[in-house]
Amino acid sequence: MVLTRINNKKLAREFGGKSGKRVIVLAGNPNVGKSVIFNALTNRYVEVSNFPGTTVEISQSALGEDLLLDTPGIYGVSSFNDEERVARDVILQADIIINIVNAMHLERDLFLTQQLIDMGIPLVVALNMVDEAQQNGIEIDHRVLAEELGVPVIPTVAVRGEGLEEVKAALAGASRGKRVSQVDALLAPLLAYFPSAREALLYLEEDPSVEIPPQMPEGAAGKQEEIYLLRRNRVNEIVKAVVKESSAGTGFAVRLGQMMLRTSTGLPLLILSLIGMYYFIGVFIAQVVVDFTEEVVMEGYYVPLVERLIERIFTPGSLMAYILAGEYGLLTMTMVYLLGLLMPLVAGFYFSLSLMEDSGYLPRVATLMDRLLVKMGLNGRAVIPIILGLGCVTMATITTRLLGSQRERIIATALLGIAIPCSAQLGVIFGMVAPLGPLYLVIYLATVGAVFVGLGLVMEKVLPGRSTDLLIDLPLLRLPRPGNILRKTYMRTVHFLKEAAPLFAVGALLISFMELSGILYRIQALARPLVQDWLGLPSEAATAFIMGIVRRDFGAAGLYALPLAPGQTLVALVAITLFVPCIASVLVILKERGAKDGLLIWTGSFVTAFLVGGLLARVML
Amino acid sequence: MTLEQAKTGEKLIIKNIEDPQMRVKAIRFGVTEGTEITCTEKLPYGPVVIRRGHQELAIGRGLARRITVEPA
């Protein structure tokens, strides 16, 4: 279930208010093992991301008589981004919160804990990863912690299931805890004006979500920083009282973490990781797995079966037969593309991303790439949509939601729509460039790379406003748990299919309609002179460009059949890379960025493709 | 001096964080005005990495320029 901006009243109606059914909410910082705990408590897995972002998904499940809701990982209850807004709205509806705290990062995590206590919500703390903390020489006295906070604290090792039964049992003793005394004093006079302490506190902390009551005396709000500082001081006191450190802890993880950031070692490590990713996705998945899923399973068994079925039900040559099983059939081409080709590639990208996320490498890559991305009007966090874009532009465009400002979302979407070739296309492109020799490969990469960077530089100059700065938590590196990575990959791939399948279906329908009405043919005729005279390609190449709108790999594959000189191949591939993204991407761009920006990006990709392709043709041909 | 001018390994005290939103976000991570931190890494033309206890943070160059520090 996906709830982006949640309507509080609707949520209350749906989840709360039902007789005897309590709403129990899991809350915690990113990277604390929330997914594992949710799963263990309900035997159902939930999508979560350690890196703050990727998708805003809320999962729900039954916990005995009660309802268990998950929230995205957050550092505090406020409104700095979509995840925080969603988490805040769910937390406001909670009857009880299970707050998961990472024993390795107590100073960071207890800020949220104390904030939840200040909100006056009954709480149980699961002190997770106590085993790792111990190995790193961090001893936490959980009894003293429970006393200081005034709520039950249960030590857990979620991945081994330790302590989870105790957490369930502790729900009965969930307690409101001890509010920071000075915060309590600030809050007391306001309580009469609000339905609950949680709204009153968020009002004091300047949260824009809280409606100001009409009788409210002015000047009471505006205390966010003051309260945050009081809370921070209190948390530091608590940490001092409960943590005993025996030694400096693991040298290796810390040293490796530093090596990942230092330019002399960080860049080689990054390149090594990218090469590893290339072999995993570009060689193993794109060649071995896709050959099997696309050619053997989908085209060998599935398509003939569907075609035979359709022939029985609909008259061959009828409109329905064409729409379902024709050239761009919903049940044939769309399914082969989505399940046979894109799904394995996208799963491969999600697997790599989850691995980088769970190990703690991803925020370090973001840090390493920040200096380049800042010049392009983005910050380091934009590596996520960019990496995912190489998998599927449609899915990557959705993840631009995690970026900090509208300006960054526009820049990232434009870069994705114009200069990032997706995995479907990359396979065909490398297959065509490689035989031409390394020089052509270098020219191809340099041209597309230059357009990518150049486009970013221009947008940073031209677009009004300023992008947000990087401020990112670098968690300690750790060995990722294979089970967790696989579950995450599975959940995300399913999510991708759910989000993308309707778009690909609508796209196929549109193309079928354009083909039947003759529009497709007319566009090809219009494009012919541009392709022939300006790009110096055979006029049939126009068809390949139009096919690229249907499926990006079709576009590139359409060039295979043409007799092209090496220079022409290069020009054609560069132009088709930069040319408009597939129709599903266009739809998602329109949906995410609105009609105006969407059309601007679409036009931009058209102009860029022919401008750069034409200039390259002048040099190469 | 600003955080941008810090040297790797240097111990510093945060004096002022200019941007109110960043100031509040930094408080959540345990970095407040008056906090002692160590600059553990400086990427050329890139982010400055600071550490306080076990908490490590990467701070974009632009933001580091707007954070005033003094040697501890």
Q: Which domains does chain B have, with CATH numbers?
A: 3-71 (2.30.30.90)
Residue B55 and residue A476: Cβ atoms within 8 Å? Answer: no
Strand A60-63 relative to strand A123-128, pairing: unpaired
C-beta atoms of B45 and A371 within 8 A: yes
What pLDDT is stored for residue A326 in this prediction?
85
- What confidence category does residue A427 fall into, taking pLDDT thresholds of 50, 70 and 90? confident
pLDDT the model gives residue A610: 93
What is the residue-averaged pLDDT of chain A? 87
What's the pLDDT at A85? 85
* CB atoms near residue A239 (< 10 Å): 18
Average pLDDT over residues B36-49: 94
Q: Which residue of B has its CA nearest to A237?
A: B30
The predicted pLDDT at position A8 comes to 44
Q: Pick the more confident residue, A520 or A171.
A: A171
Give the A window 127-186 contacts with B, CB below 8 Å: 138
Interval A73-131: pLDDT, tens: 899 999 887 788 889 988 999 999 999 999 989 999 999 999 999 999 999 999 999 99
- Residue of A578, A523, A577, A570 whose CA lies nearest to A546: A523
Q: What is the pLDDT of residues A437-465, one digit of tens each?
A: 899 999 999 999 999 999 999 999 999 98
Query: What angle (nearest 5°) sits at the alpha carbon of residue A205, between those of residues B18 and A75?
Result: 75
Give start-end residues of each CATH 3.40.50.300 domain in chain A: 8-245
- Minimal Cα–Cα distance from B61 to chain A, Å? 8
Tell me the ipTM for this assembly.
0.96
**pLDDT tens-place string over residues A309-318:** 998 999 888 8
Task: State which residue of chain A sits closest to B60, comparing Cα positions.
Answer: A470
Lowest mean pLDDT among A138-152, A169-183, A483-497: A483-497
Work out the widest C-alpha separation in chain B, in whole angstroms.
27
> Quick check: A225 contacting B, CB < 8 Å?
yes
Give CA–CA dist A253/A620, Å, rounded: 49
Segment A162-167 shows an average pLDDT of 94
| Contact call for B54 and A104, based on CB within 8 A | yes
Is B30 within 8 Å of A367 when comparing Cβ atoms? no
Q: Chain A closest CA to B23's CA: distance in Å?
A: 8
pTM of the model as a whole = 0.88
Pairwise CB contact (< 8 Å): A228 & B63 = no
Q: Domain A8-245 is of which CATH architecture?
A: 3-Layer(aba) Sandwich (3.40)
Q: Please tell me which residue, A343 or A483, carries the higher pLDDT value.
A: A343
Nearest by CB to residue B24, choosing from A225, A235, A364, is: A225
Cβ distance B58 to A371 less than 8 Å, yes or no, reads no
Q: Cβ–Cβ of A472/B57 closer than 8 Å?
A: yes
Instruction: Assess whether pLDDT exceeds 60 at residue B64.
Output: yes
Q: What is the mean pLDDT of residues B60-70?
A: 95
Chain A interface, best mutation among B25, B43, B52, by max A CB count within 10 A: B43
What percent of chain A has pLDDT above 90? Answer: 50
Q: Report angle CA A127, A131, A136 to the nearest 5 degrees.
A: 110
Mean pLDDT computed over A466-478: 90
Mean pLDDT is lowest, of A306-315, A538-547, A586-595, A606-615, for: A538-547
Contact flag B60-A80 (C-beta cutoff 8 Å): no
The CA radius of gyration of chain B, in Å to the nearest whole number, is: 10
Average pLDDT over residues A283-304: 92
Q: In the structure, what pLDDT confidence band is assigned to residue A174 with cuts at 50, 70 and 90?
A: very high
Confidence of residue A409 (pLDDT cuts 50, 70, 90): very high
**Is the predicted pLDDT of residue B1 greater than 70, yes or no?**
yes
CA dihedral defined by A370, A375, A379, A384, rounded to 10 degrees? Answer: -80
Residue A5 predicted with pLDDT over 50? no
**From the CA atom positions of chain A, what is the Rg in Å?**
27
DSSP state of A330: T
Distance CA A94, CA A121 (A): 7
- Please answer yes or no on whether A367 and B62 come within 8 Å at the CB atom: no
Q: Is A263 exposed, middle or buried (0-12, 13-18, 19+ CB in 10 A)?
A: middle
Q: Is A234 in CB contact (< 8 Å) with chain B?
A: no
Q: What is the pLDDT of residue A4?
A: 34
pLDDT value for A248:
56
Taking the mean position of all CA atoms in its chain, how far away is CA A226?
Answer: 33
**Does the pLDDT at position A32 exceed 50?**
yes
- Interchain proximity A367–B58, CB inside 8 Å: yes
Give pLDDT, residue B11.
96
pLDDT at A544 over 90: no
**Nearest-CB residue to B55 (from A105, A224, A225):** A105
Those of residues 350-389 in A touching chain B at CB distance below 8 A are 363-364, 366-368, 370-371, 374, 379-380
Confirm or reject contact between A472 and chain B (CB < 8 A): yes
Residue A225 to residue B21, Cβ atoms within 8 A: no
pLDDT band at A20 (very low <50, low <70, confident <90, very high): low
